[in-house]
Amino acid sequence: MPAFSLDPAQTAWCAELRTLAAEQLRPLAEKGEPGHVNRALVAELGRLGLLERLFTSGAVDLCLMRESLAYACTEAETALALQGLGAHPVHAHGTPAQRDRWLPRVAEGTAVAAFALSEPAAGSDAAALELRAEREEAGAGPARWRLTGEKCWISNAPEADFYTVFARTTPGAGARGVTAFLVPADRPGLAGAALDMLSPHPIGALTFDAVPVTAADVLGEPDRGFRVAMGTLNLFRPSVGAFAVGMARAALDATLGHTAERDAFGGKLKDLQTVAHQVADMALRTEAARLMVYAAATACDEGAPDVPGRAAMAKLLATETAQHVVDKAVQLHGARALRRGHLLEHLYREVRAPRIYEGASEVQLGIIAKELYATREAAQ
């Protein structure tokens, strides 16, 4: 695979995105209420044409958007990413009627999407989900089910306008017995509650009390929903890494500025070798993570067979790197970085969750090992 580098048009676009994020999106983000969907911010992302690009661009462009927005406004990055995560299954697997109803509204920023996979007892082990889709006797008519159970840790819940929901249609079949459904938020029997989380965007729990769904709500094919989920995650995992890289680069740049200007021990903080070496290490790790993210995104766009392993590596390395870089940045800034409202105080809260969602770091290690051994066996 060729080494990744930006062409001049991409470089200019990234600079434009960082400027838009700082000047137009961040003020809207600051007016939002933590723990709630910032619909004004989502609408502005739509007005700027960024949400539409979720459905017209490849993985590399998605990563460029997420990294650039994250550098200047993590709330805007997350709002964009959650629209993509929730709506991508509709884009990739929806019927014409489903796509026509929802995708234009998602692109405009007038409908909020959510991806509902995790459950109280099925987080890392997504194939163990227990939300039941119980088939109704419909005679010769279209298939009908009732959804009963819970979802938990769902971003944008309970305020989304529709949910991509994964439910068990065949008991005891593991990953082979899961179906993806498009469930509008106003369906009878669907309720939700917000969870008080270490996150500025809403995360909630959903309860399904015999929620009616039909064949017209299925995304893809019955009992093939796990493929829908994994295909979506394989696309978005490298871009989670891009989000992490954007935060790491923001922390690194803040640290470069602080250590170059801060007086300490008769000189500048950067003059201390231990400080300079830590900053160099932060830059090294950030660039290594960035290159892995875009290598994975390029593989995804080219349809390479090793995308699951590359995506897992990219998410793992980038999120762990960002945690390390932001932590080092806080340490080098000292107490000022812990003050509410400081960039690094914000990043310190933001950087923790990506090591867990869309597959915790330990899950990524398992995927990588599985792919390595599968490749070895295929070669024998």
Report the C-alpha gap between 253 and 259 in whole angstroms: 10
Backbone dihedral angles phi then psi of residue 143, each to the nearest 5 degrees: -60, 145
- As a whole number of angstroms, the distance between CA 255 and CA 268 comes to 13
Q: Which of 159, 175, 143 is nearest to 42 (CA)?
A: 159
CA–CA distance, 335 with 113 (Å, rounded to integer): 38
- H-assigned helices in 52-113: 59-72, 74-93, 96-108
Q: Is 358 a catalytic residue?
A: yes
Burial of 33 (0-12, 13-18, 19+ CB in 10 A): exposed
Instruction: Give the residue among 327, 368, 333, 367 at the shortest CA–CA distance from 348.
Output: 327
Q: What does the block give as tokens for 202?
A: 């809403």
Angle CA(242)–CA(243)–CA(248) in degrees, nearest 5?
90
The catalytic position among 44, 119, 320, 358 is 358
- What is the rounded CA–CA span in Å between residue 245 and residue 325? 10
Task: State phi, psi for 208 to the nearest 5 degrees.
Answer: -115, 115
- Partners of residue 196 on adjacent β-strands: none
Radius of gyration of the chain (CA): 21
* Residue 170, both tokens: 């065949």
Selection from 187, 154, 17 nearest residue 85 by Cα? 154
Q: Give the dihedral of Cα atoms 290, 277, 360, 25; nearest 10 deg.
A: -60
CA distance linking residue 317 with residue 180, whole number of Å: 30
Catalytic residues: 358
